[in-house]
Amino acid sequence: MLTALPTGTNPLDHEVNRRVLALSESSGVNLYIVGGYLRDALLGRFNAVVKPKDIDYAVADGSAFAFAKRVADELNGHFVPLDESSDTARVVLSDEAVSMDFAGCVGGSIEKDVLRRDFTINALVWNSREPNTVTDLVGGVEDLKSLTIRAISEKTFVEDPLRVLRAYRFAASLGAKIEPETFGWVNKHSSGLKSVAVERINLELFTALSHPATEIVMSMGAAGILEIIFPELIETRRVTTNSFHHLGLFEHSLETIPQLENRLDLVPDWVVESASKELSHGVTRLAATKVACILHDIGKPATWAINEDGRHTFYAHDVLGAEMCEVVADRMKWSRPVERFITKLVKWHLRPGALFHQGPPTEKALRRFYRSVGEDVPELMLLAFADFGATCGPGLLEENRRSLEKNWNELLSNFSVYLNEDRQRVRFLDGNRVMKLLSIPAGPVIGEILSALDEAQEFKEVLNVADAEAFVKNLYQEKYFK
How confident is the model over 74-79, as a mean pLDDT? 95
According to CATH, the topology of domain 230-424 is: Hypothetical protein af1432 (1.10.3210)
Task: Find residue 200's DSSP bridge partners.
Answer: none
CATH number belonging to domain 147-224? 1.10.110.30
Q: What is the pLDDT of residues 341-387, one digit of tens each?
A: 999 999 999 999 999 887 889 888 998 899 899 999 999 999 999 99
Position with higher pLDDT, 166 vs 116:
166
The angle at the Cα of 388, spanning 403 to 165, to the nearest 5 degrees, equals 155
pLDDT score recorded for residue 308: 86
Q: Round to whole Å and give the CA distance between 433 and 451.
A: 14
Confidence of residue 62 (pLDDT cuts 50, 70, 90): very high
Separation of CA 244 from chain center: 30
Confidence of residue 243 (pLDDT cuts 50, 70, 90): low
The reply to whether domains 2-139 and 230-424 share a CATH topology is no
What type of residue sits at position 313? T
For the chain, domain boundaries: 2-139, 147-224, 230-424, 431-480
pLDDT score recorded for residue 397: 61
- Cα dihedral 332, 334, 339, 342 sign: negative
Q: What is the pLDDT of residues 148-157, one digit of tens each?
A: 999 999 999 9
Pick the CATH number of 2-139 from 3.30.460.10, 3.20.20.70, 3.40.720.10, 3.40.50.300: 3.30.460.10
Burial 108-126 (b: 16+ CB within 10 A, else e): eebeebbeebbbbbbbbbb
The angle at the Cα of 109, spanning 5 to 158, to the nearest 5 degrees, equals 90
Please provide the size of the chain in residues: 482
Q: Round to whole Å and give the CA distance between 87 and 108.
A: 12
